[in-house]
Amino acid sequence: MYRYKTFFLYVSANWCDFCCQHEKELHLLKDLISDKRILGEEIPIVQLNSDTDVEALKELKIGFFKVPSLYFVLNKRFYQYNSFFRADNILRFINNIVNPVITLDSIDKVEKFLDTSKQLEEKSEFLGDYRIQIPEEFDPHYRIRSVGFFSEVEEYSAEYTQFHDYADKVAYRPDLRIAVVTDPDIVKHFKSLYDGIWFNSHSMNSIVMKRIEKVMYLDLSLLNEMLEIFMVFNSIPFVDELSMNNNDIVQNIVTPIALFFIDTSYILPNYHSTIKFLINLSKRYLGKYVFMFMDGNTKNKSKEQVGLQKDAP
């Protein structure tokens, strides 16, 4: 596989019904990227079955994964995709990794970028004429946008490099997008409007982060060593963002639910112990919690090995 500089790796399993449901979107993705090139090369999609291609997974040093799992591999670096499994979402994921920082070269582009109430229209050489369209229900509801205003790139070259390095680290996140402004005239325009809100009075170099309607900034002339801490601390997902698709359901549930998902296709002694523990735990808290156990394996033989039946309580 490494004869390609970039490719998709789709890890599935023959027993996994859920994996089959993803293949339609993979075919749509294949069509979307058929004319795309990264580093002058096409982007193949490679599929591995975790129950038959064990040696290949070992060689790739993928030791812990769930099925299905999708990785975008660029220069032997693995980026795992963990959002809605739709072709356009995945295409945006690639574009973010290939273009972790957007260059904003006009006042209008800066204003549109920081309008977190609207989806960000992505344009890049990689996307070409294709316009990504993601329905609201398949897009993160919380958008975080960050802009680095560097009116003096040479003087702040270390911070400029650090800013790009961090953007590269978090490019996989669908809820966070990072941009940069290096045109002194554009920086001067926004400083005149937001002095004391986006900039310190003595500085023309700042990192501005907008999270929904809240705006935060970091003065690079004073706290440049805090750049990454500022970005991490202010963009870390809230609990309700992590479970945003379940909020409406959870609000209407009175009885707490504990859901355990175990894949018994990889039979290990501790799985049997875990199931026994869940049984004892559920007896102790009967009436207070609803315990649900889901088996990720559809093979009856594995179920029989741990004493599971379809009509088991």
Buried b or exposed e, range 131-148, using 16+ CB within 10 angstroms: ebebeeeebbeebbbbbb
Q: DSSP letter at 91?
A: H
- 155-167 pLDDT, tens digit per residue, is 999 999 999 999 9
Q: What residues have CB less than 8 Å from 123, skipping those under 6 apart?
A: none
Buried b or exposed e, range 238-261, using 16+ CB within 10 angstroms: eeeeeeeeeeeeeeeeeeeeeeee
pLDDT band at 201 (very low <50, low <70, confident <90, very high): confident
CA 70, distance to chain mean position in Å, is 12
Q: DSSP letter at 11?
A: E
**What average pLDDT score do residues 90-94 get?**
95
**Domains of the chain (ranges plus CATH)?**
6-81 (3.40.30.10), 100-237 (3.40.30.10), 253-305 (no CATH)
pLDDT at 145 over 60: yes
146 versus 69: the higher-pLDDT residue is 146
* pLDDT score for 195: 93
CA 229/CA 197 separation, integer angstroms = 20
Share the mean pLDDT of the chain: 82
* pLDDT score for 125: 93
With beta carbons less than 8 A apart as the criterion, state whether 63 and 277 touch.
no
**What average pLDDT score do residues 177-183 get?**
97
CA 142, distance to chain mean position in Å, is 13
Q: How many CB atoms lie within 10 A of CB 183?
A: 17
- 234-259 pLDDT, tens digit per residue, is 888 765 555 545 555 555 556 666 66
* Residue 304 CA: distances (Å) to CA of 13, 60, 172, 268: 20, 32, 40, 14
pLDDT band at 311 (very low <50, low <70, confident <90, very high): low
